[in-house]
Chain A
């Protein structure tokens, strides 16, 4: 195991080990640079992953206190992970690309009141080759010669109903789940516990892909259970070290440069909580935009009690997709679009989600038909609003002594219109197959797609980072996660995070070789 000295200022420090941090760490190590990755959570092994949602929720989830105002659950607004691998442990593996028309959001959608809608500063043409690299690296099904995953029952129901409704752009999705054995990992065995960690490692997670590959280079050190509390600047305003808590004790690691990849909430908290004379409003926050424009995609569901058995728990969670509503069709009454995907629930989670609206027969008559249920998840574009954001609680602290993050989020009218349309579209799909009963479920799953709070752009007054994710204010401080997204698009963000990170790694490599970092 490689170990770097705390005084070694030639190391590049990456904060977080998920899709962004794990990938950036490996990519920099592969390019010959020394990397220390600081991860707040523990390092599990595949043997720690069991097929029990309640057990894995406790093992994987970021459970330190968070608060919310507005629409989200006031005590559990965000569902992220605190473990090596980050949210790549509990993600579904869905890898849609952001569509070119979505990257040109302002141009496509036009003026939208109360939003900070912009076109991405990285063009679709510029990001396309990085999407290719990301898909090949992650082994995305249905891309670059890899077969699609097979269709299971829940997918077959969705597809049959959707075709009766006239939809045609339907398949088993592009998934970072092995459809064949590759990369020393097996093909998907249809365990049905994707969001609890993949026990066989068929799903791409940095825990058993990027991290061990980085370790093999001999230029990488992972430090789990290292909760970063401070990013320290020298007199010239450059980052010189990072301080973290390990088993309650502060440790300071010198460094060449830092990238923050803590998933949006933690990235924001770290920046905002590091105030100084130079940055009275938080690190790299001369714009005042750190923590603002928080976006999160709605995730609503439609369940159908079908005429025959479905057994939707017997397959990959997000195992089929209908893309027809992803397009921008303003005649629907909203801008942007949404994806329709399969989703299963365990009886417990189904009950908890349904219970928000009621109890009694309305709940149990659906649970009694559990094996007849088909389920779909509808997720759509969330426009950026300056008023949606993450701040620090003025007095409340967590177990690390850090101020508790407070998330404020409200739906934009465009989102409400899209949700109303999406519920009806989903309902029609199951009705077309003669569903006995349809249950429309609300936007109650805590946010897993977090974006926008350190957006990239070309104007330092209205963005936090450059198009390579370097902060405008500090030349050796980077952000690598979904915080960079200027808009959210109507699809899962992880593939785009990885593509941007690969592009960022090439930029960092060039800067180091040119002596600028």
Chain B
């Protein structure tokens, strides 16, 4: 899409490669102990990498992961493709994906972001996250105003920071 994002991808990939070994080692033990439900944990971590908002908690991503996994559980082809994708992420021989530091997670996801499981999760994940009223509130989207008579009297033209006409840039 944008030239900006392509540049970012290249940068992230090189950072991730350089950082992989020293950062990851300390996380191995913790991750192994916490792998009660690997599918949910890995999916939640993946959602956190795809849609990183500092104002959203790990519990939030876990909730979205549970909803997503529940939705696709009834479709054998979808859940099998999803598990195949998660296995790719967990097969790094360092630690489970969910236990890796964000910068390494990003590097790993870069390698699988054209896989069907990831594209499917990204699409549905965007719906689950960005249709959520709490996320709307977080980013400042106000949704329907029909019940209040529209935005006509609720700030549709309240901008106050623009330069006065005739001012220089």
Contact = CB atoms under 8 A, between A and B. Distances in A.
B156 A367 contact: no
Contacts of B144: 50-52, 191, 193
B37 interface: no
Interface string A46-76: 0000111010000000000000000000000
Interface residues of A, number: 58
A364 interface: yes
Given A160-B162, A358-B1, A432-B169, A51 B52 contact: no
Interface string A151-174: 111001100100110000000000
Nearest to A434: B169
A163 B165 contact: yes
Given A363-B51, A364-B53, A358 B9 contact: yes
A55 to B, nearest CB: 10
B141 A346 contact: yes
A352 B123 contact: yes
B133 to A, nearest CB: 11
A257 B169 CA distance: 61
Interface in B129-169: 129-131, 135-136, 139-146, 149-152, 154-163, 165, 169
B96 to A, nearest CB: 20
B126 interface: yes
Q: Give the bracket for the number of chain B residues in contact with chain A.
A: 35 or more
B144 to A, nearest CB: 3
- Report whether over half of chain B's contact residues are helix, strand or loop; otherwise say mixed: loop
Contact of B126 (A51, A348, A444): A348
A190 B139 contact: no
A425 interface: no
B161 A313 contact: no
B75 interface: no
A369 B55 CA distance: 12
Given A191-B150, A361-B52, A441 B1 contact: yes
A442 B129 CA distance: 23
Given A309-B159, A311-B155, A359 B136 contact: no
11 contacts: A52-B144, A54-B127, A164-B169, A190-B152, A191-B151, A310-B159, A314-B151, A355-B126, A367-B139, A440-B3, A441-B1
Given A311-B142, A311-B158, A351-B130, 18 more contacts: A51-B146, A163-B165, A190-B150, A192-B145, A192-B150, A200-B146, A308-B160, A308-B162, A348-B127, A355-B123, A355-B126, A358-B1, A358-B2, A359-B50, A359-B109, A359-B113, A361-B8, A363-B51
